[in-house]
Structure 1
Amino acid sequence: MSAAADHDRIPEIALGWIAEGRRAALATVVQTWGSAPRQAGAQLAISDEAQIMGSVSGGCVEGAVVAEALEALEDGTPRIVEFGVSDDDAFAVGLACGGRIRILVEPIGIGQGPAKALVEELAQARAERRACVYAVHPDTWARRLVYRDDATPLAAPALAAMDGDKSGFTPEEDWFLGVHNPPLRMAVVGAVHIAQALMPMARIMGYDATLVDPREAFGAQARFPGEAILHDWPDEAMEKIGLDERTAVITLTHDPKLDDPAIRIALASDCFYLGCLGSTRTHAKRVARLEAEGFTAAQIARIHAPVGLDIGAKTPAEIAASIIAQVTERLRRPATRPGLKPAEDAA
Structure 2
Amino acid sequence: MTETSGRAEHDSLPEIALRWHREGRGAALATVIETWGSAPRQAGSQLAISGTGEIMGSVSGGCVEGAVVTEALAALEDRRSRVLSFGVSDETAFAVGLACGGTIRVLVEPVGAGAEALPEAMLADLVAARAARRAVAMAVHPGDWSRRLIARGEEAALEARFRADRSGMEEDGRFIAIHNPPLRLIVVGAVHIAQPLLQMARLCGYDCTLVDPRSAFGSEARFPGERILDDWPDEALAALAPDARTAIVTLTHDAKLDDPAIAAALRSEVFYLGCLGSTRTHAKRVERLGAAGFDAAAIARIHAPVGLDIGAKSPAEIAVSIMAQITQSLRKG
Matched, 1:59 2:59: no
Q: 1:266 to 1:93 in 2, by over 3 A?
A: closer
Instruction: Give the whole-Å Cα distance in 2 for the aligned partners of 1:132 and 1:266.
Output: 24
For the 8 Å contact 2:198–2:208, the answer to whether it is kept is yes
Instruction: Give the whole-Å Cα distance in 2 for the aligned partners of 1:199 and 1:149.
Output: 31
Who is 2:269 aligned against? 270
Instruction: Give the whole-Å Cα distance in 1 for the aligned partners of 2:22 and 2:255.
Output: 51
SS at match of 2:247: strand
Instruction: Give the whole-Å Cα distance in 2 for the aligned partners of 1:321 and 1:148.
Output: 30
Instruction: Give the whole-Å Cα distance in 2 for the aligned partners of 1:64 and 1:34.
Output: 21
Who is 1:222 aligned against? 221
SS at match of 1:179: strand
Instruction: Give the whole-Å Cα distance in 2 for the aligned partners of 1:92 and 1:77.
Output: 32
Q: Which amino acid aligns with 1:60?
A: C
Q: 1:92 to 1:76 in 2, by over 3 A?
A: farther
Instruction: Give the whole-Å Cα distance in 1 for the aligned partners of 2:206 and 2:283.
Output: 30
Matched, 1:28 2:31: yes
Who is 1:144 aligned against? 148
Match of 1:106 among 109, 118, 142: 109
SS at match of 1:325: helix
Q: 1:94 to 1:206 in 2, by over 3 A?
A: closer
Q: 1:46 to 1:254 in 2, by over 3 A?
A: same
Residue 161 of structure 1 and its aligned partner are, at CA, apart by: 2.4
Q: Which residues in structure 2 correspond to 1:158-307 (within 5 Å)?
A: 158-172=158-172, 174-307=173-306
Instruction: Give the whole-Å Cα distance in 1 for the aligned partners of 2:61 and 2:248.
Output: 31
Instruction: Give the whole-Å Cα distance in 1 for the aligned partners of 2:125 and 2:159.
Output: 19
Q: Which runs of 5+ in 1 are unaligned?
A: 335-347
Instruction: Give the whole-Å Cα distance in 2 for the aligned partners of 1:108 and 1:203.
Output: 32
Matched, 1:327 2:330: no
Instruction: Give the whole-Å Cα distance in 1 for the aligned partners of 2:97 and 2:275.
Output: 45
Match of 2:134 among 108, 130, 135: 130
Q: Deviations over 1:213-268 (max 9, x none)?
A: 01112111111111111111101111111111100000011110110000001111
Q: What is the RMSD computed on CA atoms of the aligned residues? A: 1.9
Instruction: Give the whole-Å Cα distance in 2 for the aligned partners of 1:88 and 1:227.
Output: 43
Instruction: Give the whole-Å Cα distance in 1 for the aligned partners of 2:281 and 2:24.
Output: 60
Q: Please, what TM-score do these two structures have when normalized by structure 2?
A: 0.93
Who is 1:311 aligned against? 310
Q: Which runs of 5+ in 2 are unaligned?
A: none
Instruction: Give the whole-Å Cα distance in 2 for the aligned partners of 1:252 and 1:183.
Output: 23
SS at match of 1:182: coil
Residue 88 of structure 1 and its aligned partner are, at CA, apart by: 6.0
Q: Deviations over 1:3-29 (max 9, x none)?
A: 211011110011121232211111111
Q: Bigger CA drift: 251-260 or 77-86?
A: 77-86
Aligned length: 329
Instruction: Give the whole-Å Cα distance in 2 for the aligned partners of 1:158 and 1:329.
Output: 19
Q: Bigger CA drift: 160-169 or 311-320?
A: 160-169
For the 8 Å contact 2:163–2:331, the answer to whether it is kept is no
SS at match of 1:102: strand
Q: Deviations over 1:101-160 (max 9, x none)?
A: 21111111143211111000000000111111100010101111011354xxxx233344
Instruction: Give the whole-Å Cα distance in 2 for the aligned partners of 1:240 and 1:176.
Output: 36
Residue 93 of structure 1 and its aligned partner are, at CA, apart by: 8.3
Q: Bigger CA drift: 1-10 or 67-76?
A: 1-10
For the 8 Å contact 2:30–2:48, the answer to whether it is kept is yes
Who is 1:156 aligned against? 156
Instruction: Give the whole-Å Cα distance in 1 for the aligned partners of 2:65 and 2:10.
Output: 14
Superposed structure 1 runs of 4+ greater than 4 Å apart: 88-96
Who is 2:44 aligned against? 41
User: Percent same amino acid among aligned pairs?
Assistant: 66
Residue 164 of structure 1 and its aligned partner are, at CA, apart by: 3.3
Q: Which amino acid aligns with 1:133?
A: A
